[in-house]
Structure 1
Amino acid sequence: MVRRFVPALTPARARLALLALALGGFGIGATEFVAMGLLPNLAQDLLPGLYADSPTVANARAGWLVSAYALGVVVGAPTIAALAARFPRKKLLLVLVAAFTIGTVASSLLPSFGLVIAARFVAGLPHGAYFGVAALVAASIMGPGKRGQGVALVLSGLTIANVIGVPTITYLGQVTSWRIAYLAVAAIFAATFVAIAYLVPFQPGDPDATMRRELRAFGRIQVWLALLIGAVGFGGFFAVYTFISPLVTEVTRLGPGFVPVVLVVVGVGMTLGNFLGGWTADRNVMGSIFTYFGLFVIALTGLALTAQTTVGLLGFVFLIGFAASALSPAIQTRLMDVAGDSQTLAAAVNHASLNLGNALGALLGGVTIAAGFGYVSPTWVGLTLCAPGIALAVTALLLQRRRVPEPALAPV
């Protein structure tokens, strides 16, 4: 087999390549989270009859758009990662970004609630595979011993999107329409395509990868535990974040113009948490998971008790964003530690588990709101989901200390 020569990158070129990868994360953060700030706008436009009868029920139903995107991630991440592990990573990234662009444009143009749900599902399909492959490329560029920081750098685009992109695009959607907001997101993906094409160096895929080898990761108990920690525990963040807009306007009694401010506060927390989580994950993965889960519980409890006050709202949504985002690189690094040779799948499927939490949190939060428990009730849902997340982390640690041997995957 003829292998293409990959020249060493200069520090400046390496930084530009990492920036291009992070720009993709920025676009993903925008397309995933902009619905939260524009949820009432989406409900009013796509469900006008239901909104006229009951804005609360319409807002809860519009939360299905968040769940649809998340389910797309759950389906797409393992499927694409297992099928495409051999493909050259740069070319695969370009295909994934093109798919994001098309899916986001479709989301902005389709006329009905059902069709937009379908478009959001399609737009979510490349999410996990992009982050998985981009994390492997970033780790390769950064060098040995810095996997957690490489993951965090790619995820930094997503967290910074919550500081700059999501609030800005939310404001744009409020003063124009949510459809214009999604077209702006599509433009970010188009810019990402160009940046990756010109700045990211060629990287080969894994020539020895097969679907069977990648799927072998699912025969490991520790892989399932890590996935469940993310899926269950992380649901608490999305239970709160999905309904952040009506929480601000209906519970704290602030105007719609204050929603972008709250989104900035969440985004700053996410950005700081992401970088600290990547740094601590390179030093003690399980210790990081337990520490940030503890902080997450404190933050959710605080928000549930003080959401009626501006200080309580801002302080505790900052901590929720910080703790949840710090958990992400720790969980992804843990998956890469326990997945053996199935690194492409492990790097991608983490985002499937987190978005399963996204779908679960948005769904359960919407159920409690529709049942009449109010816009604070998703915070209690999130707190409830933390308990099994922590229990699963304890189980993983106990099995690790007992050195329980991993079973082999049955032949397929």
Structure 2
Amino acid sequence: MSKTKHSLHSSAGTPPGDTGPSYASASGKKRTFPLSLLCLTIGAFAIGMTEFIIMGLLPNVAEDLNVSIPQAGQLITGYALGVAVGAPILTVFTHRIPQKKLLVLLMCIFIIGNALSVIAPTYGLLISARILTAFAHGTFLGVGSILATKLVTPDRRAGAVSVVLAGLTIANIIGVPFGTFIGQQLGWRSSFGAITLLGIISLIGIIRFIPVIPQGPPANLGQQFRNLIRPQVLLVLLIGAMGCGSLFTVFTYITPMLVDISGFAEQSVTWILVLFGFGVTLGNMVGGRLADWKLMPSLIVNFAILAVLLAVLTLTLHNPILAVTTIFFWGVAAFGIMPGLQVRIMNMTREAPLLATTSSHSAFNLGNAAGAYIGGFAITHTGLISVPLYAAVIAGLGLLGLLWSLILHDRRASSDGADAGQSIVAR
């Protein structure tokens, strides 16, 4: 007991903005992921449902609110822009709030936004509610990822991040299909009602189970911003955007590719996407474990496999069995990179990670939007079959970015070692 008290007391003296020691290491006993992580996973699950469920309900929303399908589609664009812009803005205004209190505030914003979506009488109010909800998205996942790393031992940080992000992937397997079914049977508003209830469950869990971990004084905004604009950090954000861009270049148009090229019936695509979702979830968990083992080597190998699989998909799309097999492993590789990238950013901004970590979700969503645009460009100019090749090129550029990041890191390490040697000689 005295050791625990001493450890928690000493954490109060960490430098401004330092992440401090992990809760798990303070207790000295936690080797399995704690229950408190589940509360963050449920929150991420609800966020994943909110982001993607609207895709299956566009016709219902358009008919109910008397708008066109393209207008209803702006509910997706508005949400993505809300995430991209909202994460850094909300972080700037809330960076002094302790992390547990900030999670509670963000989940309250999320609940209010979805509750407004349930009762929204007009299209304008609905898109406003969606943007409000999106503001909580990136900051919740960023803060949740940072807090997750403090709830486990240092050698399990990437694994803890992957557990939180698993909520997003599981939402695609279970939440989105189930929520779409509810919306089609009981009306689209009922889907947002179910998401609101999930948000309330996550909020109660956060309040009840997540401990208050001493952080020390928060880093000032200048320090947060300087960390964000460091070339190495910006490079990793760009690499993350490329990873997501390669994903959405193909994923946005996966249905027409499977129907028109592979020859699947449209109703079969749903089950293929469920299989893809299982691959995504597996990749997220395996990627977290590999990143805890060897961070940069695992990221480099993963990006290389991702680029190869996307190129191979161009060939296997013509064979239904090979197409489905490739799509499953593509899902594994596509999300295997996410935990490692998040931890890489946190490692480079240890003294003030919040703004950079939340901005990563802005970068990821910008990558999503760019990928969808590039996929559309490919279809218009070189045909549907060429879409995976464009995605493979984007993933290849991400791989080159990772290699460049590793070279810069090695150069800096060599320079620091030389400076230290000169200092010793001078003394």
Per the alignment, in what secondary structure is the counterpart of residue 282 of structure 1?
Answer: helix
Q: Could you tell me the TM-score, scaled by structure 1's length?
A: 0.83
Partners of 1:47 and 1:75 lie apart in 2 by 28
Q: In the alignment, what sits opposite 1:323?
A: 333
Does residue 276 of the first structure (1) align with residue 286 of the second (2)?
yes
Q: In the alignment, what sits opposite 1:360?
A: 370
CA gap 1:247/1:22 in 2 versus in 1, 3 angstroms: same
**Is the contact between residue 85 and residue 206 of structure 1 (CA under 8 Å) also seen in structure 2?**
no
Equivalent residue for 1:396, pick from 405, 413, 427: 405
| Displacement of 1:24 | 0.8
Partners of 1:64 and 1:258 lie apart in 2 by 27
Q: Could you tell me the TM-score, scaled by structure 2's length?
A: 0.81
Partners of 2:351 and 2:99 lie apart in 1 by 17
Give, as a single letter, the amino acid of the residue that structure 2 aligns with 1:402.
R
CA gap 1:333/1:14 in 2 versus in 1, 3 angstroms: closer
Q: In the alignment, what sits opposite 1:135?
A: 145
Runs of 5+ consecutive residues of structure 1 not aligned to the other structure: 52-57, 407-412
Q: In the alignment, what sits opposite 1:171?
A: 181
Does residue 126 of the first structure (1) align with residue 136 of the second (2)?
yes
Does residue 300 of the first structure (1) align with residue 327 of the second (2)?
no
CA gap 1:288/1:88 in 2 versus in 1, 3 angstroms: same
Partners of 2:46 and 2:141 lie apart in 1 by 12
Q: In the alignment, what sits opposite 2:106?
A: 96
| Displacement of 1:10 | 8.1
Per the alignment, in what secondary structure is the counterpart of residue 125 of structure 1?
Answer: helix
Segment of structure 1 superposing worse, 376-385 or 16-25: 376-385
Q: In the alignment, what sits opposite 1:221?
A: 231
Partners of 2:320 and 2:38 lie apart in 1 by 35
Give, as a single letter, the amino acid of the residue that structure 2 aligns with 1:365.
G
Segment of structure 1 superposing worse, 372-381 or 286-295: 372-381
Choose 1 or 2 for highest CA Rg. Answer: 2
Q: In the alignment, what sits opposite 1:28?
A: 47
Q: In the alignment, what sits opposite 1:387?
A: 396
Per the alignment, in what secondary structure is the counterpart of residue 267 of structure 1?
Answer: helix
Per the alignment, in what secondary structure is the counterpart of residue 216 of structure 1?
Answer: helix
Segment of structure 1 superposing worse, 114-123 or 134-143: 114-123
CA gap 1:255/1:186 in 2 versus in 1, 3 angstroms: farther
Residue deviations 1:122-157 (CA, integer Å, cap 9, x gap): 322111211121122211111222221121111122
| Displacement of 1:169 | 2.0
**Is the contact between residue 288 and residue 340 of structure 2 (CA under 8 Å) also seen in structure 1?**
yes
Residue deviations 1:212-236 (CA, integer Å, cap 9, x gap): 1211212411101000001123211
Partners of 1:114 and 1:366 lie apart in 2 by 27
Partners of 1:310 and 1:39 lie apart in 2 by 28
Equivalent residue for 1:161, pick from 165, 171, 186: 171
**Is the contact between residue 307 and residue 393 of structure 2 (CA under 8 Å) also seen in structure 1?**
no
Give, as a single letter, the amino acid of the residue that structure 1 aligns with 2:242.
V
| Displacement of 1:171 | 3.2
**Is the contact between residue 87 and residue 206 of structure 1 (CA under 8 Å) also seen in structure 2?**
no
| Displacement of 1:400 | 1.4
Residue deviations 1:181-217 (CA, integer Å, cap 9, x gap): 3332222212211221222222345423211121121
CA gap 1:36/1:310 in 2 versus in 1, 3 angstroms: farther
Partners of 1:105 and 1:84 lie apart in 2 by 23
Q: In the alignment, what sits opposite 2:15?
A: none
Q: In the alignment, what sits opposite 1:289?
A: 299
**Is the contact between residue 303 and residue 396 of structure 2 (CA under 8 Å) also seen in structure 1?**
no
Equivalent residue for 2:208, pick from 195, 198, 202: 198
Partners of 1:340 and 1:41 lie apart in 2 by 46
Q: In the alignment, what sits opposite 1:409?
A: none
CA gap 1:328/1:14 in 2 versus in 1, 3 angstroms: closer
| Displacement of 1:364 | 3.2
**Is the contact between residue 231 and residue 355 of structure 1 (CA under 8 Å) also seen in structure 2?**
yes
**Is the contact between residue 82 and residue 210 of structure 1 (CA under 8 Å) also seen in structure 2?**
no
Q: In the alignment, what sits opposite 1:54?
A: none
Residue deviations 1:234-264 (CA, integer Å, cap 9, x gap): 2111222234445455554544543432232
Segment of structure 1 superposing worse, 269-278 or 385-394: 385-394
Q: In the alignment, what sits opposite 1:79?
A: 89
| Displacement of 1:172 | 3.1
| Displacement of 1:48 | 6.0
Equivalent residue for 1:342, pick from 352, 357, 360: 352
Equivalent residue for 2:157, pick from 147, 150, 167: 147
Partners of 2:164 and 2:377 lie apart in 1 by 33
> How many residues align structurally?
395
